Structure 1
Amino acid sequence: MIRQLTVLPAPDSPDAVLGTVLPAVRACLEGAAPLAVLPAGPPAAAAREVLAPDEPLEDGADLVVVTSGSTGGPRGVLLPAAALRASATATLDRLGGPGAWLLALPVSAIAGLQVLVRSVLGGTAPTVLAPGEDLAAAVARMSAGRRYTALVPTQLRRYLEREPAALRAFDAVLVGGAATDPGLLARAREAGVAVVTTYGTTETAGGCVYDGVPLDGVRVRADDEGIAIAGPVLALGYRRDPESTAAAFAGGEFRTRDAGSVGPDGRLTVAGRLDDVVVTGGVNVAPQAVEGALREHPAVADAVVFGRPDDEWGQRVVAAVVPAPGAAPDLAALRPWVAERLGGPSAPRELHLIGSVPTLHTGKPDRRGVAAALGGGVR
């Protein structure tokens, strides 16, 4: 039987999430109606092209999620219901059982969709954070008992500054989608927030490594070619892209293209994207680490870092920073600050001041978009 994909527009309200997307997720988990949800705004057109809803769907796929395209063009990731169930069940087991979930992420991304999947499998009703709503007001609408949410680091940083008491109301705050600064994690935990760092990709049905420890059934290894993940959470491949599928999925593993290492205790440490590493003067510099160091400077509110060609160094480290209120950071202050923490090669050699760090629809910083807006591409 030929299966066609149901493509839903980005929901524009909590009612649309609960009335349209949530029932569609239930049907998807039952294998009754393959589903995809478009991102909001301009990315929707590119996503629809990738999804090709008029073309027959690949066998076994129940959910197709379009990646943000942070390391190239967007792709449609083919996920079977079994992978979604395996991921959600292992997550609930790791966190201590079912609970009420607050949805604070877009449902076009796997992290947002998994909040709905966990709610369905846990038999609880999700609460949807409304645009502009205070976190405390949303928490007040949640049912009693265990409470969970999932955020990206930018949200954690914002709520920690504005509403730390609301964050403390959760039994677990999953943070993923992008690297989380160690300083931010430390501040959150010191404030009594039950932060759980998550690592995973759309191709692994979302986060599958919590606080460095793989979920039950998930196997992780790392080598010079990056981190490889195996287990029941894996996607089938990419929509209408057999070449990319064959390159990324082989031998029962998914190759993430992230750099990392696995310690003797089996704990995974992620160093960042292999594609994002800046090689300056023969030294590999991880942009995420530099961003974390910059955000700790009192004159910096946020930062994004990338590399550009340099005649002397091969590449130079470029930083675009959002100044803290009333501050005017400059290279003379930021270079020694970073060098002291990460070494001289990591110190930025070019600085731009920006109003905010744009993000992709998944919540990841749009590193390539920032570089293009500042008059050149990454690397």
Structure 2
Amino acid sequence: MNILVRYCVVSSGVGFIMLSSYRVEAHWTVLSDRLQLTPIIQTVVQQSDNVFHVPEKTHSDLVTAIRPKLLSEAALTDTLFCSLEYTGDFRHYWNFDNLDSIRHKGELQIKMTTPRGSKFAIGTRYYDSTIQAFSQKGDNRDYVEREVYFDSLFTTGSWTEAGLRFESSYRDFDDDHWRTDDYDRYAVKGYVAYKRLPFTSFIGEYNFSHQENDDFAGGPLEIDAHSILFGPEWQAGKRLSGKLLGGYSWISGNTLSDSSSFSFLANLHYKFSPFTSFNLDGFHAYNTSTSANRETNIYNVSKGGTFTIDYTRWKPFHVIAVLEYKNQEFKGEGESIVSRTDDFYKASLRIQYPLRNWLLLEAKYALNKKDSDLSSVEYRENVGALNLTFSF
């Protein structure tokens, strides 16, 4: 059966399932003053011309996926809320079933507000995911990641506020071959804001993380990363919103020399017209490397950004164009360290069309490209997809 026939069969089946699901499942939605339950189902039909992300001898495949999502929030009191979120991702590859995967993501959170406007939250996250295989005979690299966190925001005055966040997480790969990527990590974030400036606020952030990889090659590895960032923040609802922060970052470890550099973080939204808006996200930060994802050395300096154009003039069509760039410079110390720099480029176009108020059709095309000093990880990929999203 050729690709076109497969695509038509799957698309027809998906459409029938989605339409029939509305009649059968509509009663699942529960809305009241105290409880909201929102199920969402997305079906995906995707074609890739390079599923293994290799520089040559590429293989095409048709991928079908079902992604259920459940959002739930209960108001225990007027100031105390409990929320639950679950997302699943069930993927099937028609030619290479070694790439088939099942992924789960869940989060439970309890949050509270005070009469003065302070906010507190405690929660836990669970990820059961995978890093795909990069060859026909390879296996997916399955792992589990768990996290608990505490988040707080204090209203300290009429024009000032401060926040503190603590996270503790660990990651565990199923296959011992990737045990060097297993880690225990905790992170702390401090936040202060002064809001009396015209049109904007001035904020400061301090971030610290400590990571331990007990089974790292050559002995245990411990890495500490710090960043101090300052800058303006514009409130949501204005023509310009978001934040633009700059500062200093540094990293240290028991097996590597200290390294430091300028750092920045940008999350900006600009409403150009009633029909057009722009989003700009940028970053410059230190990250630890994951060998299961074909990353090398101990850590990498990562910088880049995403530029998004959102256009809604041709209603009911909604057009979203995205350009993305990321540069990673891999670093470390020792005989096994090899100089390597990666450049990743992505351009995508999405067109959304609401078939019903509960059914959204989306067509998508993306071009992915990676250049690297390590030729085996270079690749170019064209991806086309048709998505149907059913929600209440």
Q: How does the TM-score come out when normalised to structure 2? A: 0.25
Which of the two has greater helix per residue?
1
Q: How does the TM-score come out when normalised to structure 1? A: 0.26
Bigger Cα Rg? 2
